[in-house]
């Protein structure tokens, strides 16, 4: 059954912004665009009639989402309902009259389906540990004791008065180690002691011990010391407040009160172990994700890494940096984000928009900043297309490359002035994208971050972006496939659309693209690098000694360099746009050595001859023994047969000299008359 065409409701919001229904209808093909003036109040009946029709309905308003959802919920047969913001992002701006193409683009992009997201359940029974240093922790426990199962842990010296009634345990100790997440915390406590019931003016504690273990669902940290976890505000179930800020303490107490039950947390990262290039044969290669994860959710696990979905906070830096696509973001996947960019930039261009600046932002910080700029400032420039993502740091090279391939003239990332976690992953993405763009003829600062909490500063930074030409022939490709495939596709399309395409662009150290350089004179074709290469970029030939290299598959993990016994391999970061269609090149090739007994080829001729010559000249087992030397020149099967026939003793050697004792030395001294 064919899907019914959708209806789009756009509203001038009491004539506070101009509308361009014709532009929206032109780019939103098949949709009926209906204009209104006050759809949430005076014209609410128009919404009710359209919703009752059963067709998909998009409302260009997010402020009144609860009202529209309530009305639609009262109707029988109401169709799917979606919302998009064109007021704060476009209409409320000093450039509102020129914002018609942007409004049309935002409406067109809203039709892209949102992919399904898997969830991870977190269950909390309300067992809570309050960690503090004075009466404040006990007061917090009094507020929570009727809602949660509370225990108070007081840091030494723990000078607190005993409570009138023992409504909850109060113990002493210092947390040495903490791990876990909401519903499954495990704390190691030193100097742990329980109070004596006869404590009078202050709590007197019994004998203390180290290494006590506490398991709980929630940790409320009012100690004022260092956080128990890295990126502490991203750890579900761990609430930390400055004890000197009563308002912050109260907010933490209220939040803790609501942390009981089962919570669904998005599974932010999909991970494919077989693609991971972390290590081989206990030699570490790629560790990009390990170095970037702010919460410690990623740990080594043999040849690959393991990602703890319960601890992962969804920053996405691991997915943005992963060279093989083993770690991929799921909220949304990279191909879904690229489809959204395709719809947005294609519609903007078709509606007459020019000089598009794509601005990636999150909802909590970026969304509020955009709203504040629209309500109290000049609003966003007409050419700035906001793209909301879960976390700005999830955006990888594929999205940046695709944005320029689709016709963007610049890309900006909106960050907090004081980020919640380290943004080095995003900085590396920008540092990787800029030389690629420059090498393809995109002049100027095309990719950058805007770090601010000030809406006026945001507006000034966006309006200061210099006019830069977009790709002369924008791409229209539809991204599909796994992350690594999407990256390759986006880069190929960027190269095809670039103003001055170059075949090879040099990249900074640590880039996930490049070639390997081998000192062929020192290479013995042992092929250790082939066995270690996780992507198949290095390969051999089963018929003869040969080392091949396919640059398109290389992720610069460094395993080949680390495992090479001769240390003749080095990495050269670059991107060769011809590599996708080029066949693998031969790095070194030699003739095999033929077994002198059966004629079967084995080993490398130069290596066997070099080893034989060296042993004949310097090793006692082979000197003056042609039969022993011939064994080196045989294949494995013939070598065993020859040794058995000749009855070679592998442990045989020349007669060792007699052991000399002290008496021998004394005798020699007497003979010399000393």
Could you report the per-residue pLDDT of 507-561, keeping only the tens digit for each? 999 999 999 999 999 998 989 999 999 999 999 998 889 999 999 999 999 999 9
Tell me what pLDDT residue 621 has: 65
Tell me what pLDDT residue 1 has: 35
219 - beta bridge partners? 129, 238
Report yes or no: 82 and 110 within 8 Å, Cβ to Cβ.
yes
Round to whole Å and give the CA distance between 517 and 496: 28
Task: Give burial (CB, 10 Å; 0-12/13-18/19+) of 380.
Answer: buried
Three-state secondary-structure class, residue 85: coil
Round to whole Å and give the CA distance between 301 and 288: 15
Strands ordered across the beta sheet of 410-415: 384-388, 357-361, 410-415, 447-451
What's the token pair of residue 471? 């790709």
Alpha helical stretches, state H, 351-423: 368-376, 397-405
Strands ordered across the beta sheet of 57-59: 32-36, 7-11, 57-59, 81-83
**Residue in 55, 40, 38 with CA at minimum distance from that of residue 3:** 55
Q: Which residues contact 45 (CB under 8 A, 6 or more apart)?
A: none
Bridge-based pairing state of the strands 283-284 and 279-280: antiparallel
What's the token pair of residue 565? 């016994």
Tell me what pLDDT residue 613 has: 83
What's the token pair of residue 291? 């170095």
- DSSP 8-state class, residue 88: I
51: part of which helix (H) or strand (E)?
A: helix 44-52
Report yes or no: 162 and 196 within 8 Å, Cβ to Cβ.
no
What's the token pair of residue 439? 């090498």
CA angle 414, 420, 424 (to 5 degrees): 70
Q: How many CB atoms sit inside 10 A of residue 215's CB?
A: 11
User: Measured in whole angstroms, how far is the alpha carbon of residue 253 from the centre of its chain?
Assistant: 32
User: Measured in whole angstroms, how far is the alpha carbon of residue 506 from the centre of its chain?
Assistant: 24
306 - beta bridge partners? 299
The shares of helix, strand and coil residues in the chain, as percent rounded to the nearest 5, are: 30, 20, 45
Q: Where are the domains of the chain?
A: 7-83, 121-264, 267-329, 335-502, 514-589
What's the Cα-to-Cα distance from 277 to each of 146, 320, 428, 537, 581, rounded to whole Å? 51, 15, 19, 12, 23
Average pLDDT per block of 10 residues along the chain, 674 residues long: 76 96 94 95 95 94 97 93 97 97 97 92 98 96 97 94 92 97 98 94 94 98 96 96 96 97 97 96 95 97 96 97 96 95 97 97 97 98 98 97 98 96 96 97 97 98 96 94 92 96 96 96 92 95 91 96 96 95 92 88 83 76 72 87 77 69 84 73
Instruction: Name the architecture of domain 267-329.
Output: 2-Layer Sandwich (3.30)
**Residue in 260, 311, 315, 322 with CA at minimum distance from that of residue 287:** 322
Task: Give burial (CB, 10 Å; 0-12/13-18/19+) of 266.
Answer: middle
Domain 121-264 and domain 514-589 have a common topology: no
Tell me what pLDDT residue 640 has: 87
The model's pLDDT over 133-158, given as tens digits with 9 standing for 90+, comes to: 999 999 999 999 999 999 999 999 98
What's the CATH class of domain 335-502? alpha beta
Q: How many CB atoms sit inside 10 A of residue 508's CB?
A: 11
Residue with tokens 């669902």: 217
Bridge-based pairing state of the strands 149-154 and 170-179: parallel
Q: Report the CATH superfamily, name and number, of domain 121-264.
A: FAD/NAD(P)-binding domain (3.50.50.60)
Task: Give burial (CB, 10 Å; 0-12/13-18/19+) of 32.
Answer: middle
Query: CB-side exposure of 373: number of CA atoms within 13 Å?
Result: 29
- DSSP 8-state class, residue 394: G
What's the CATH class of domain 514-589? alpha beta
248 dihedral zone (left: phi>0; alpha: psi -120 to 50; beta): alpha
Residue with tokens 């932010």: 268
Tell me what pLDDT residue 674 has: 61
Tell me what pLDDT residue 543 has: 81
**First-residue to last-residue Cα distance in the chain:** 115
């Amino acid at each position: 059954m064919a899907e019914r065409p959708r209806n789009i409701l756009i509203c001038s919001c009491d004539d506070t912004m101009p509308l361009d229904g014709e532009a929206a209808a032109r780019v939103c093909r098949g949709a009926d665009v209906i204009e209104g003036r006050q759809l949430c109040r005076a014209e609410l009946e128009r919404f009710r009639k359209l919703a009752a029709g059963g067709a998909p309905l998009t409302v260009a308003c997010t402020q009144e989402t609860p009202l529209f959802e309530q009305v639609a919920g009262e109707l029988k047969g109401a169709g799917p309902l979606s919302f998009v913001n064109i007021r704060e992002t476009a209409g409320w701006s000093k450039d509102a009259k020129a914002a018609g193409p942007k409004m049309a683009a935002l409406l067109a992009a809203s039709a892209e389906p949102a992919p399904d997201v898997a969830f991870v359940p977190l269950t909390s029974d309300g067992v809570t540990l309050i960690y503090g240093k004075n009466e404040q922790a006990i007061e917090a426990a009094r507020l929570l004791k009727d809602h949660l199962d509370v225990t108070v842990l007081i840091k030494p010296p723990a000078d607190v008065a005993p409570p009138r009634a023992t409504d909850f345990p109060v113990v002493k100790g210092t947390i040495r180690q903490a791990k876990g997440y909401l519903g499954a915390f495990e704390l190691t406590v030193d100097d742990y002691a329980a109070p004596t019931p006869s404590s009078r003016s202050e709590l007197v504690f019994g004998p203390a011990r180290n290494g006590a273990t506490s398991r709980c669902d929630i940790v409320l940290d009012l100690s004022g010391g260092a956080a128990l976890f890295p990126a502490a505000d991203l750890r579900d179930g761990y609430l930390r407040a400055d004890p000197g800020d009563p308002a912050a303490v109260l907010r933490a107490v209220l939040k803790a009160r609501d942390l009981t039950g089962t919570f669904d947390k998005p599974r932010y990262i999909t991970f494919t172990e077989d693609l991971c290039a972390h290590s081989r044969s206990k030699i570490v290669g790629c560790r990009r994700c390990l170095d970037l994860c702010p919460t410690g959710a990623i740990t080594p696990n043999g040849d690959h890494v393991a990602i703890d979905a319960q601890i992962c906070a969804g920053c996405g830096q691991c997915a943005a940096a992963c060279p093989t696509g083993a770690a991929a973001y799921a909220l949304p996947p990279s191909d879904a984000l690229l489809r959204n960019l395709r719809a947005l930039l294609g519609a903007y261009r078709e509606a007459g928009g020019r000089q598009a600046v794509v601005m990636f932002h999150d909802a909590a910080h970026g969304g509020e900043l955009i709203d504040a700029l629209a309500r109290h400032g000049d609003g966003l420039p007409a050419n700035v297309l906001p793209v909301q993502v879960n976390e700005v740091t999830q955006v990888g090279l594929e999205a940046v490359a695709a944005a320029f391939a689709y016709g963007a003239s610049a890309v900006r990332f909106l960050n907090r002035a004081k980020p919640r976690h380290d943004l080095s992953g995003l900085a590396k993405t920008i540092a990787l994208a800029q030389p690629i763009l420059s090498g393809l003829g995109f002049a100027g600062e095309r990719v950058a971050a805007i770090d601010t909490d000030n809406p006026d500063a945001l507006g000034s930074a966006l309006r200061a972006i210099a006019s830069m030409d977009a790709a002369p022939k924008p791409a229209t490709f539809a991204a599909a496939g796994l992350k690594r495939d999407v990256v390759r596709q986006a880069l190929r399309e960027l190269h095809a659309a670039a103003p001055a395409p170059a075949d090879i662009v040099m990249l900074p150290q640590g880039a996930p693209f490049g070639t390997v350089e081998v000192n062929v004179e020192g290479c013995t074709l042992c092929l250790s690098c082939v066995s270690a290469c996780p992507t198949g970029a290095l390969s051999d030939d089963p018929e003869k000694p040969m080392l091949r290299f396919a640059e398109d598959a290389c992720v610069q993990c460094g395993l080949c360099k680390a495992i090479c016994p001769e240390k003749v391999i080095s990495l050269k970061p670059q991107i060769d746009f011809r590599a996708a269609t080029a066949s693998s090149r031969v790095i070194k090739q030699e003739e095999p050595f033929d077994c002198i007994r059966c004629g079967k080829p084995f080993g490398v001729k130069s290596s066997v001859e070099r080893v034989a010559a060296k042993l004949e000249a310097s090793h006692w087992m082979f000197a003056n023994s042609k039969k022993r030397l011939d064994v080196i020149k045989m294949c494995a099967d013939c070598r065993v047969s020859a040794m058995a026939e000749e009855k070679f003793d592998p442990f045989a050697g020349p007669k060792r000299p007699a052991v000399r004792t002290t008496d021998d030395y004394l005798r020699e001294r007497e003979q010399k008359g000393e």
